Chains A and B, each alone.
Chain A
Amino acid sequence: MNMLQTVSVVLRRELILAMRRRGDVLTVLFFFVIVASLFPLGVGPDPKLLSLMGGGVVWVSALLAAMLSLGRMFASDYADGTLEQLILTPTPPVIWITGKILAHWLVSGVPLILMAPILGVQFGLTSDALLVLVISLLLGTPVLSLIGAIGAALTLGLRGGGVLVSLLVLPLYIPVLIFGAGAVDGSMSGLGAEAHLSLLGGILVLAFISTPWAVSAALRISIE
């Protein structure tokens, strides 16, 4: 099998597994909506304040939701031994890891992107800002899956792994948050979002070419 075939086989498998357990996907989506809805209740319903915060709130909620779903990425394969078999195959791990991360993004990132404009409207974002929000999430959420995969791989099978992942991964998510929310802010204040979006794109490229290697190393450490 060549590289693309391997990626698509892994992708199909992951998507089928996700469709068989739709609850997991929906839980993450509802978590995203609930966290974002807590902010107006916490800080008060002032429309001006909410439209200022909107981009940042949606982004922070996306970060937390993405983190919540990280445990799924390798845990069940690790528990039933599939992961060891995958590592023993002659295919370089980087390839099927890329497939797995892609699947994770499709299952947990894309629903967030589809849901985000609705939340944005509730926070009173302008239509330009909504578009920028969607673009920034399109560029940013794959990075969350890529970086998160490192944390997920390192904490495989550890007690309290879920909390540990947040400590390991959230600090590394911060640049994505800054530029993602910054893009929405820039568009709201009329400064333009291009600079922030370009930086997000740069981070995405960098993460895409480097993190699968780190994940592969992390999996080898965890499996030994």
Chain B
Amino acid sequence: MINGLNWYKFASPATFYTLAGRMIPWFYSLAALLCVAGLYIAFFLAPTDFQQSEAYRIIFIHVPAAWMSMFIYIVMAAWAAIGLAFNTRLSFMMASALAPTGAMLTFVSLWTGALWGKPTWGAWWVWDARLTSELILFFLYLGFMALQAAIDDPRRADRAGALIALVGVVNVPIIYFSVRWWNTLHQGASISMTKAPSMAAIMLEGMLVMALAVWMYAIAAALSRVRSIILERERNSQWVAQMMEAEA
């Protein structure tokens, strides 16, 4: 089966360019649908929290963004590792396509956290372990993008970025476990695999739907960005010239 479905075929930027083009509308529409459904649950179905009243509703954006900010970094580092190990150009392109979306979601999670912190904690920002490590994650994304932007030779930019992405991945478990290791202001994990959820089922559903929406959006955004990167890198190749001619 695996041999029949030739994976190497899609590792070529030319084939992947077309494949990504066909997948992007699906992921964008899925993201839109899930987002509408999630926001409907969030604003109309979910009850008011007895402790935090309406302010808690920010979790429907905050938690999915925070999850994805960490997850995208891990995926980015994984693509970087695959690129370094197998020397596949497309993996490096995927890594650099993911970085801006990851940075954006990290920023969203910090920003929505601040918006929630002001009414709840009485401060826009506290130097708590989780907030600080999430801020470091933002800097790691910026460092990755800045390093790639500073290097003109794409081969070197790919590899240097991949290395720094792999080195920075040590930060992700620190963020994830920060609420358990340091007993600080940020509340513990909202969801645990081992315990029964501590929130109403409908709130949990809303959050999961929103998380899926953000996930689909991240995939769509990364795919459309990787298409631009492919075009830019392969601008001198024959297939790009033929495609441009066919479109013109």
Contact at B163–A160, with CB atoms within 8 Å?
no
Q: Does B142 contact A (CB under 8 A)?
A: yes
Contacts of A174 in B (CB 8 A): 132, 136
Contact at A167–B160, with CB atoms within 8 Å?
no
Q: Mark A206-224, 1 if CB is under 8 A from B, else 0.
A: 0000000010011001101
Say which residue of A150, A159, A167, A221 sits within 8 Å of B139 (CB atoms). Answer: A167
Chain B interface SS verdict (over half): helix
Say which residue of B147, B163, B171, B174 sits within 8 Å of A164 (CB atoms). Answer: B147
Contact at B150–A161, with CB atoms within 8 Å?
yes
Contact at A172–B167, with CB atoms within 8 Å?
yes
Contact at A224–B143, with CB atoms within 8 Å?
no
Say which residue of A150, A170, A175, A221 sits within 8 Å of B167 (CB atoms). Answer: A150
Say which residue of A168, A175, A214 sits within 8 Å of B143 (CB atoms). Answer: A168
Contact at A222–B156, with CB atoms within 8 Å?
yes
Which chain A residue lies CB-closest to B149? A164
Contacts of A171 in B (CB 8 A): 136, 139-140, 143, 168, 171
Number of interface residues of B (CB under 8 A): 22
Q: Mark A84-119, 1 if CB is under 8 A from B, else 0.
A: 000000000000000000000000000000000000
Contacts of A175 in B (CB 8 A): 174
Q: Does A145 contact B (CB under 8 A)?
A: no
Q: Does B78 contact A (CB under 8 A)?
A: no
Contacts of B146 in A (CB 8 A): 164, 167-168
Say which residue of A154, A170, A222, A224 sits within 8 Å of B164 (CB atoms). Answer: A154
Q: Does A155 contact B (CB under 8 A)?
A: yes
A150–B174 Cα distance when bound, in Å, is 20
Contact at A168–B150, with CB atoms within 8 Å?
no
Which chain A residue lies CB-closest to B139? A171
Q: Does A158 contact B (CB under 8 A)?
A: yes
Contacts of B151 in A (CB 8 A): 158
Chain A interface SS verdict (over half): helix
Contact at A224–B155, with CB atoms within 8 Å?
yes
A175–B182 Cα distance when bound, in Å, is 13
Q: Mark A135-156, 1 if CB is under 8 A from B, else 0.
A: 0000000000000001000110
Number of interface residues of A (CB under 8 A): 21
Q: Does B225 contact A (CB under 8 A)?
A: no
Q: Mark A152-195, 1 if CB is under 8 A from B, else 0.
A: 00110011110010011011101100000000000000000000
Known contacts: A155-B147, A158-B150, A167-B146. The answer to whether A214 contacts B163 by CB under 8 A is yes
A80–B164 Cα distance when bound, in Å, is 26
Q: Does B186 contact A (CB under 8 A)?
A: no
A125–B139 Cα distance when bound, in Å, is 32
Q: Does B89 contact A (CB under 8 A)?
A: no
Say which residue of A159, A160, A222 sits within 8 Å of B160 (CB atoms). Answer: A222
A160–B149 Cα distance when bound, in Å, is 11
Q: Quick one: which of A154, A161, A174 has the most chain B CB within 10 A? A: A154
Contacts of A218 in B (CB 8 A): 160, 163
Contacts of A168 in B (CB 8 A): 143, 146-147, 164
Which chain B residue lies CB-closest to A169? B143
Contacts of A167 in B (CB 8 A): 139, 142-143, 146-147
Known contacts: A158-B150, A164-B146. The answer to whether A221 contacts B164 by CB under 8 A is no
Contact at B147–A154, with CB atoms within 8 Å?
yes
Contact at B156–A214, with CB atoms within 8 Å?
no
B12 shortest CB reach to chain A, Å? 23
- Residue numbers of B with Cβ under 8 A of A are 84, 132, 136, 139-140, 142-143, 146-147, 150-151, 155-156, 159-160, 163-164, 166-168, 171, 174
Can you sample 21 A-B contacts with CB below 8 Å?
Answer: A154-B147, A154-B160, A154-B163, A154-B164, A164-B143, A164-B147, A167-B147, A171-B136, A171-B143, A171-B168, A172-B171, A174-B136, A214-B163, A214-B167, A218-B163, A221-B156, A221-B159, A221-B163, A222-B156, A222-B160, A224-B156
- Residue numbers of A with Cβ under 8 A of B are 150, 154-155, 158-161, 164, 167-168, 170-172, 174-175, 214, 217-218, 221-222, 224
Known: A159-B150, A167-B143, A224-B156. 9 other contacts (CB 8 A): A150-B167, A154-B147, A161-B150, A167-B142, A171-B171, A172-B171, A217-B84, A218-B160, A222-B156
Which A-B residue pairs are the 7 nearest by beta carbons?
A: A171-B139, A221-B159, A168-B143, A167-B143, A171-B136, A154-B160, A158-B150
